[in-house]
Amino acid sequence: MHLLDSYSQTFLSTGQERSDKQRENFKIATFSLVNSKLNIGVQNTGDIPINITRLWIQNTTTTDWFQTYSIRINVPPGTTASNVGQSLPLYINSSNSYNIKLVTERGNSQQFAVNSANSAPLNIQLLALPPNVASGFQSQLIMIITNNGSSTLTNLSPAPLPSPTGSASCAAGSVNPTRYNTLPPGQTAVFSWTVKATAPADGWSCTYTASLQNGYPGQSVKATITVSAIQLSSTTFAQNSGILTLNYTTMAWTQGGAWNTGWSVPGNTGTILKLNVTNNNATTNTNLYLSKNSQILLVGTQGSTTTPLYIVNNASSLSPLGIVPYTCGGPNDYCVSLPYGKQVTLFFASGQQQGGTGTMKKVPGPGHEAVAFLVIYGKYSTSQSSSGSMYGQSLPYMGFEFN
């Protein structure tokens, strides 16, 4: 009877141990190196406590190096034990690769690899999204890494991007994120860079080559970004917007003595308005020459009254106040040019096209309000006297109240 009872107890105990071993479940949650020592986070994903009793480590860079350490880490269900390995007399060389195994008291284990991206080729892709961009716009490099091995990878990060090859000018930003602490088998890591690409002509491109830090020797991936220049012609004007842009913060007006900012302007007085305009046309070697028809149009908000202030060459002085009519040599028009990507200060003051020196248009009288529109007429041409593609654009300027 004693023998039978002992056998029954042993059978029940063994069955319980087997059941507990099957219910035990944990994973490597985090990993880092702190002062060249292991810093492992272990998460108990099961429903019973676990007790980690041993740590096995092999330096795979030096095949005959192998160590075993006795530890005692208790992890209740649903919790994570941190700093595992910090108390061990073990120091890690970050340039080497290691296989590490944690073993529980019931015999279950989790194995992972440290700095082992160089032990075997990984599934790596590098994509440019989108692969074709207009000049001056951004694309994005996406590096996708899948752990096709059988152990968890740690400290996974891309190597710094080398300068791209190709005819286009491309500038990459910082990588995001900078690293993955752990990458379990079958899981994917994604890194990205924003890239600004510019080129003066269609079809220019730049090619980036990416790899992993401490990656498998010779393994790298490439992606190409192709740039399309924004070209303007008589058939494509309607397909592009924002060819001319205003710097609203630099708007100013004067009635003599000094330049002023703001929307409240003394009425019924000769006034000069100035503003900065940028030409965003990407057509190579083609400037925008402004016509004498260019003007700021003040449209009254209380009726249909309009007040045009035509373009002048400049405000030669403020005291005494004077303006230089919009005149020049050659055809005596298209006197001011806006090169691509450049900003030019424009002045508007005359009550008529190419108005006389010192004659400024009076703005509406006190008590009136007006919405201002900048109306630009011109031509895209290689010179002032040459024919070109005629172009016109209006831009909202700002509102004024005349006091």
pLDDT band at 120 (very low <50, low <70, confident <90, very high): confident
What local confidence, expressed as pLDDT, does residue 16 receive?
A: 61
Q: 3-state class of 203 per DSSP?
A: coil
Q: Is 262 exposed, middle or buried (0-12, 13-18, 19+ CB in 10 A)?
A: exposed
pLDDT in tens, 246-258: 888 888 999 887 8
What local confidence, expressed as pLDDT, does residue 237 receive?
A: 47
Strand partners, 222: 209
DSSP 152: B
Q: What is the mean pLDDT of the chain?
A: 85
Residue 41 has pLDDT above 80, yes or no: yes
pLDDT band at 24 (very low <50, low <70, confident <90, very high): very high
> What distance in Å separates the CA atoms of residue 360 and residue 336, rounded to the nearest whole number?
20
Closest C-alpha to 244, from 318, 360, 342: 342
Q: 3-state class of 104 per DSSP?
A: strand
Instruction: Return the sign of the alpha-carbon dihedral for residues 132, 135, 140, 143.
Output: positive
Reported in sequence order, the residue ranges of 108-241 that DSSP labels E, i.e. its strands, are 109-114, 123-129, 132-134, 137-146, 153-156, 169-172, 180-183, 188-198, 204-210, 221-228
> What distance in Å separates the CA atoms of residue 80 and residue 51, rounded to the nearest whole number?
12
> What distance in Å separates the CA atoms of residue 115 and residue 94, rounded to the nearest whole number?
7
Residue 245 has pLDDT above 70, yes or no: yes
Least confident of 194-198, 284-288, 309-313: 284-288
Using DSSP bridges, classify how beta strands 295-300 and 314-318 pair: parallel, antiparallel or unpaired.
Answer: unpaired
Residue 319 has pLDDT above 60, yes or no: no
Using DSSP bridges, classify how beta strands 306-312 and 343-350 pair: parallel, antiparallel or unpaired.
Answer: antiparallel
Least confident of 108-117, 202-211, 316-325: 316-325
DSSP 237: G
Least confident of 6-10, 18-22, 68-72, 371-375: 6-10
Tell me, what amino acid is at 129?
Answer: L
- Highest mean predicted confidence (pLDDT) among 1-5, 159-163, 301-305: 159-163
Closest C-alpha to 400, from 253, 295, 250, 294: 253
pLDDT in tens, 121-166: 889 999 999 999 988 899 999 999 998 877 777 778 899 999 999 9
> What distance in Å separates the CA atoms of residue 330 and residue 337, rounded to the nearest whole number?
14
> What distance in Å separates the CA atoms of residue 161 and residue 171, rounded to the nearest whole number?
10
Tell me, what amino acid is at 11?
Answer: F
pLDDT in tens, 343-380: 899 999 998 998 877 778 888 888 888 888 999 999 98
CA-based Rg of the chain, rounded to a whole angstrom? 37
| Residue whose entry in the numeric block shows the structure tokens 């209006």 | 394
What tokens were used for 313? 């060459």
Residue 318 has pLDDT above 80, yes or no: no
CA atoms within 13 A on the CB side of 62: 10
Using DSSP bridges, classify how beta strands 132-134 and 221-228 pair: parallel, antiparallel or unpaired.
Answer: parallel
- ∠ CA 397-391-136 to the nearest 5 degrees? 75
Residue 170 has pLDDT above 60, yes or no: yes
pLDDT in tens, 275-296: 999 887 765 567 899 999 999 9
